Structure 1
Amino acid sequence: MYTPVALLCRTPARSRLLRTKFMHAAIPSLSISGPAVTTSRRFSRLSRTSSVTSILKAVKDDGCVVIESMFTPSQISRLNKEMDAALANVSAGRPANANTPPLPGGIDPSVFGHNTKRLGNLPSSSAAFREDVADSESLHDICTGIFKETGDYWLSTAQMIEIGPGSKAQPLHADASGWWPFWSMGGKWTPEFAVNFLIATTDTTKANGATGVVRGSHRIKYHDVLDDATLGFWQFPDEQVEQIELKAGDCLLLGGRIVHRGEENKTTDEFRRLLSCTVISSTLTPEEAHPLLLERERARELSERAKKFLGFRELATTIGPDVWQDHQQGGLKRALGF
């Protein structure tokens, strides 16, 4: 998911986005602890049957991990068929949020990709998403492990991102930066509170825009660099951005702090599709209001796990009160009637 950097910091939003878009200078060390950024080794590649412990360790060590064949060919085929129809009605060069006003200077295409389409509200438009992604055994096992320090979790936003031929690389960013803990946490306790499952529904290659990741950037101490109003701590030279190629059905799981971007599609005829599925702690507010958007009759058909994931059940936290409650009726199941 790409959250426009103009929404994330304290200096005037529009001028900051313009500055950030056209800056591309390396910032020494960037308060990254541990080894210097290097391209001498590959990021971990595990399988759908790998233990949750090994997946969590890879995310902690590297900030991301590839889970190969997380989704089956039949699931991907079904999802793509639904996306073919939905994306046909989507305009390129715009964010998934239709309410986002155009950026100044007509730079929307350069920020969001002039030939890139983004589709949100997938629970409403895709049965494959509701049944195969929102109720994925692997996804929920991983999320249970990731969020055990803070409590339950729910879906923030799911977006299909199709990078078409000629689209340039998007600005570098970290997905968790849309929520305040990203900017305020110190170094003593830094649980993951937002992660992104990037699910490839087509093969992603270095040529067609495979996601680029900056090794070691999940260790940036953001609370030490807040005075850098230019967001210079997200500027890295191209040689430090490693592209991670995926086969259709693979998932690149990104921790919330690692710096990454969708890369340039240098092909003339390939459309690179990734389903971006951002999951957050139950203590935070989702980007999309799924319980208000998904029709009740469709929500009734969901498994209990998927109902909770999309906000049709109350959620527990490890610190503070449980959330999304109906105190008088003793739970959303009774209040909703399903």
Structure 2
Amino acid sequence: MSATLHEDHELPQSGHLTTSASLQRLPNTATVEEVVAVLDEHGYVIIDELVSGDTMDRIVQEMQPHIDSSVHGDEYFSGTKTRRTGRLMAHSPTARELVMNPLVLGVGRSFLSASHGIQLGSTEMISIEPGQTAQMLHIDDMVAGEYPYTPDFKIYCNNIWAVTDITEANGGTRIVPGSHKKQFEEQSYTQADTVPVEMSKGSLLIFSGKLVHGGGANTTTDEIRRALSLPYIVSWMRQEENQYLACPQKIARTLPTDLLRVMGYDALYGMGHAGALSDPLPALFEE
């Protein structure tokens, strides 16, 4: 599945163009119900300063050796001046707290409630370096490939955390508000149709897997835009990042039960069992 970028198009907005200043934002005191209402209507919502800047600094400190050893992407989608660092459940205790944040987890479970449950789709620190051009516009639902789910069925809820202050200049994610209401194949957008998401360190962008978006261009000379992607997906989908391998069992055995189930150590109507229909969680601790 690929984006179609043409000049002739019809924006799914009413009356006026959205600007960065008028993006949908909620305070960190918002409820699950308030967040989901905005998410359903607009396809995204920004929660300002949901965690402290110190929390994000700890994640960088925990991940720095792994960031340094990450290579740049080798093609236009992954970004030739972008480093993508995974395996955060193995390497960052603080990132585990973000996965289990009560508000974010509650929103994921409510937004994807048509499914039996949810799980962690992947973990990725995305470091966009100076000179990186804008990413191709896309939707995250494309990870399901050609799976024939109905267009209105929700399978993906992305969570992009601001690890550093994020601005338009340093590569803030660009979105097309309201684009989740049309099938992706029917849409044609250019970068001119997008709006940059600017947010301070510790803030969070939550958006539907059907929302058209892409990483922005980093036009600065000395700023690295760091963001953390921790999406939830429906429990029957194959995870983008295989948590059973990305987080070694010796580490997994030290983690809280609730986190392990979100990471995929759970069974769905008999699928995902550890043999003879046994629950995968106690099986993890078997010698």
Q: Is the 8 A contact 2:162 2:227 kept in 1?
A: yes
Which residue, 200, 225, 244 being the options, matches 1:272?
225
Aligned-pair CA distance for 1:117: 0.7
What is the RMSD of the two structures over their aligned residues, measured on CA atoms?
2.4
TM-aligned CA distance change 1:59 to 1:312, over 3 Å: same
2:281 matches 1:333: yes
Residue matched to 1:71: 51
**1:231-254: per-residue Cα shift (whole Å, max 9, x none)?**
xx3x42333110110111001011
**Structure 2: 5+ residue stretches without partners:** none
What one-letter code is carried by the residue in structure 2 that aligns with 1:208?
N
With structure 2 as the length reference, what TM-score do the two structures score? Answer: 0.90
Aligned length: 285
Residue matched to 1:165: 130
Residue matched to 2:68: 88
Aligned-pair CA distance for 1:195: 1.1
**1:193-226: per-residue Cα shift (whole Å, max 9, x none)?**
101100010000011111111122111124x74x
* CA distance in structure 2 between the aligned counterparts of 1:158 and 1:86, rounded to whole angstroms: 13
* CA distance in structure 1 between the aligned counterparts of 2:148 and 2:267, rounded to whole angstroms: 27
* CA distance in structure 2 between the aligned counterparts of 1:325 and 1:154, rounded to whole angstroms: 15
Aligned-pair CA distance for 1:296: 1.9
* CA distance in structure 2 between the aligned counterparts of 1:85 and 1:292, rounded to whole angstroms: 19
Which residue, 118, 122, 139 being the options, matches 2:104?
139
**1:95-145: per-residue Cα shift (whole Å, max 9, x none)?**
xxxxxxxxxxxxx1x433332111122222222223x22332222121221
With structure 1 as the length reference, what TM-score do the two structures score? Answer: 0.77
Aligned-pair CA distance for 1:182: 7.2
* CA distance in structure 2 between the aligned counterparts of 1:219 and 1:333, rounded to whole angstroms: 38
* SS of residue paired to 1:88: helix
* SS of residue paired to 1:157: coil
Residue matched to 2:216: 263
Q: Is the 8 A contact 1:37 1:216 kept in 2?
A: no
Residue matched to 1:35: 14
* CA distance in structure 2 between the aligned counterparts of 1:271 and 1:78, rounded to whole angstroms: 17
Aligned-pair CA distance for 1:27: 4.0
Residue matched to 2:95: 129
* CA distance in structure 2 between the aligned counterparts of 1:35 and 1:322, rounded to whole angstroms: 46
TM-aligned CA distance change 1:216 to 1:39, over 3 Å: same
* SS of residue paired to 2:83: strand
